[in-house]
């Protein structure tokens, strides 16, 4: 098939390689002029250590990219989706979204955004998948999710490589909630690492984070079992423990006393967990639910709370029974 990939960051670039290795014709849209020149000259990117296959094409013209195919993979970060896509006609386009987060302005999930922008359909591809490892053809497993299971299976069956396996799922809400919240929790994991890398604390964080996934997911219509799958606990584990995690790296620097503006200015890549933390904070208020860990991450980032104090306040909360997932506890 002919496939357009919009966004030439690390994940868009790695996905272009996977699709090309699966036998598809790929056109990669590149925003940065210097990166486009680099790709044309060497087929290498400064975002990721990869040499792209010779048959991948490049363009900086969004209209050309969109006219190349009606099957479009989006790798543009969630906060920039509206800006990039509002100038193009999406009515005949099947969108496969790779980005994870919640739009801050209108608190929209990616699939909601694309439907609002007029897309014919939107499928979400998510799971434990560092772009660097996918680019190196390290075995990786993810999930394709859509409201209609046949759409999810269509995307699942696009991939035909020995290193990238896809499952299908019809709980798109749960998969997108997982992708958004795991980035917020990864910032908390980075704070733990910056304070000493405590294994007990990290295990507790990951386990109790699933409670927050379920609470928010329940308000939005997700299926709780999704959070025990690849997009939920799978992606949460890799993002909270892996060296490639941008959001975990942000948390480490917060633990060392840096302010968020300073951290973000020094980074070339986007840490989706930062704006998503604010969006999740607003959703928690909208639904009147308690998300203790996510709330503390928000306070550390945007209210300047000391990370040590945030942890102490979490540990000092009133005693609870463990398994009452949907109660504010």
Question: What is the CATH classification number for the domain harbouring 31?
Answer: 3.40.50.720
Query: Could you give the number of structural domains in the chain?
Result: 2
- Model's pTM, two decimal places? 0.95
Whether 157 and 17 share a structural domain: yes
Asked whether residue 158 is assigned to any structural domain, the reply reads yes
Centroid of chain to Cα 217 = 16
Whether 76 and 10 share a structural domain: yes
Asked whether residue 322 is assigned to any structural domain, the reply reads no
Residue length, the chain?
329
Whether 149 and 201 share a structural domain: no
Q: Would you call 243 a catalytic residue per the annotation?
A: no
Domain boundary residue, one of 130, 148, 170: 170
Whether 184 and 148 share a structural domain: no
Percentages (nearest 5) of helix, strand, coil residues in the chain:
50, 10, 35
**What is the reported pLDDT for 269?**
79
Query: Is pLDDT at 203 greater than 70 in this prediction?
Result: yes
Asked whether residue 231 is assigned to any structural domain, the reply reads yes
Cα–Cα dist 206/209, whole Å = 5
Range of the domain at 266: 173-315
In tens, the pLDDT along 129-161 reads 999 999 999 999 999 999 999 999 999 999 999
Asked whether residue 239 is assigned to any structural domain, the reply reads yes
> In this structure, how many other beta carbons lie within 10 angstroms of the beta carbon of residue 228?
13
Whether 110 and 196 share a structural domain: no
Asked whether residue 178 is assigned to any structural domain, the reply reads yes
Cα–Cα dist 67/120, whole Å = 15
Cα–Cα dist 306/301, whole Å = 9
Strand ranges for 61-202 from DSSP E: 71-74, 94-97, 121-126, 140-145, 164-169
The packing angle between helices 273-287 and 292-302, to 10°, is: 130
Sign of CA dihedral 165, 248, 31, 62: positive
Asked whether residue 327 is assigned to any structural domain, the reply reads no
Domain boundary residue, one of 149, 170, 191: 170
Whether 114 and 97 share a structural domain: yes
Whether 130 and 34 share a structural domain: yes
Asked whether residue 324 is assigned to any structural domain, the reply reads no
Helix (H) or strand (E) holding 152: helix 149-156
Residue keyed to tokens 């959703």: 283
Whether 263 and 148 share a structural domain: no
In tens, the pLDDT along 157-193 reads 999 999 999 999 999 999 999 999 999 999 999 999 9
Whether 47 and 11 share a structural domain: yes
CATH number reported for the structural domain that contains residue 233 in this entry: 1.10.1040.10
In tens, the pLDDT along 214-270 reads 999 999 999 999 999 999 999 999 999 999 999 999 999 999 999 999 999 888 777
Whether 115 and 44 share a structural domain: yes
Whether 144 and 219 share a structural domain: no
Asked whether residue 252 is assigned to any structural domain, the reply reads yes
- Residue 116 CB contacts under 8 Å (≥ 6 apart), including other chains: 108
Domain boundary residue, one of 121, 144, 170: 170
Whether 60 and 188 share a structural domain: no
Edge-to-edge strands of the sheet including 121-126? 57-59, 25-29, 2-6, 71-74, 94-97, 121-126, 140-145, 164-169
**What is the reported pLDDT for 329?**
56
Q: Which of 93, 100, 108, 182 is catalytic?
A: 182
Residue 55 in tokens: 């048959």
Task: Convert 185-220 to b/e letters by CB count within 10 Å (16 or more is b).
Answer: bbbbbbbbbbbeeeeebbeebbeebbbbbbbbbbbe
In tens, the pLDDT along 281-301 reads 999 999 999 999 999 999 999
Cα–Cα dist 164/308, whole Å = 40
Tell me 130's DSSP state.
-
Residue 242 in tokens: 């892996």
């Amino acid at each position: 098939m002919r496939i357009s990939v919009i966004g030439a960051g690390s994940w868009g670039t790695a996905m272009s390689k996977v699709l090309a290795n699966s036998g598809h014709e790929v056109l990669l849209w590149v925003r940065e002029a210097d990166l486009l020149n680099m790709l044309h000259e060497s087929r290498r990117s400064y975002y990721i250590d990869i040499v792209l296959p010779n048959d991948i094409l490049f363009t900086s013209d969004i209209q050309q990219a969109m006219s190349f195919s009606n099957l479009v993979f989006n790798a543009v970060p969630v906060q920039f989706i509206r800006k990039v896509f509002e100038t193009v006609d999406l009515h005949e386009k099947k969108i496969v979204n790779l980005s994870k987060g919640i739009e801050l302005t209108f608190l929209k999930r990616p699939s909601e955004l694309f439907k609002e922008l007029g897309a014919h359909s939107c499928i979400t591809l998510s799971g434990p998948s560092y772009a660097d490892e996918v680019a190196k053809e390290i075995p990786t497993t993810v999930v394709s999710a859509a409201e209609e299971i046949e759409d999810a299976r269509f995307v699942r069956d696009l991939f035909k490589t020995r290193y990238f396996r896809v499952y299908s799922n019809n709980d798109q809400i749960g998969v997108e909630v997982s992708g958004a919240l795991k980035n917020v929790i990864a910032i908390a994991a980075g704070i733990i690492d910056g304070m000493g890398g405590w294994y007990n604390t990290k295990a507790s964080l990951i386990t109790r984070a699933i409670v927050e996934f379920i609470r928010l997911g329940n308000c939005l219509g997700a299926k709780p079992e999704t959070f025990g799958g690849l997009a939920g606990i799978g992606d949460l584990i890799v993002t909270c423990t892996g060296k490639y995690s941008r959001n975990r790296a942000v948390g480490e620097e917060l633990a060392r006393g840096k302010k968020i503006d300073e951290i973000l200015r020094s980074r070339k890549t986007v840490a989706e967990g930062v704006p998503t933390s604010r969006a999740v904070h607003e959703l928690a208020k909208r639904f009147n639910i308690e998300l203790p860990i996510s709330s503390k991450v928000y306070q550390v980032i945007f209210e300047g709370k000391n990370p040590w104090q945030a942890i102490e306040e979490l540990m000092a909360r009133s005693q609870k029974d463990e398994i009452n997932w949907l109660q504010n506890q």
